[in-house]
Amino acid sequence: MKARIYHNPSCSKSRAALTLLEARGVELEVVDYLNDPPSKAALASLLDKLGVPAQALVRATDQELTTLLAGGARTADRVLDLLLQQPSLLQRPIVEAGDRARIGRPPERVLELFE
More confident residue, 64 or 44: 44
List of long-range contacts for 34-43, beta carbons under 8 Å, 24+ apart: 34/8, 34/87, 34/88, 37/83, 37/84, 37/87, 38/6, 38/87, 38/90, 39/84, 40/80, 40/81, 40/84, 43/80, 43/83, 43/84
The pLDDT confidence band at residue 59, using thresholds 50, 70 and 90, is confident
Structural domain count of the chain: 1
In this prediction, residue 58 carries a pLDDT of: 86
Q: Look at residue 62 and tell me whether its pLDDT is greater than 90.
A: no
Annotated catalytic residue within 4, 11, 45, 55: 11
The pLDDT confidence band at residue 74, using thresholds 50, 70 and 90, is low
Looking up residue 97, the CATH number of its domain turns out to be 3.40.30.10
Does the annotation count 11 as an active-site position?
Answer: yes
Q: Look at residue 1 and tell me whether its pLDDT is greater than 90.
A: no
Range of the domain at 20: 2-114
Cα angle value 97/45/2 (rounded, 5°): 15
In this prediction, residue 78 carries a pLDDT of: 84
Q: Which residues contact 47 (CB under 8 A, 6 or more apart)?
A: 54, 57, 76, 80
Q: What is the pTM of this model?
A: 0.88
For the chain, state the CA radius of gyration: 14
The three-state secondary structure class of 73 is coil
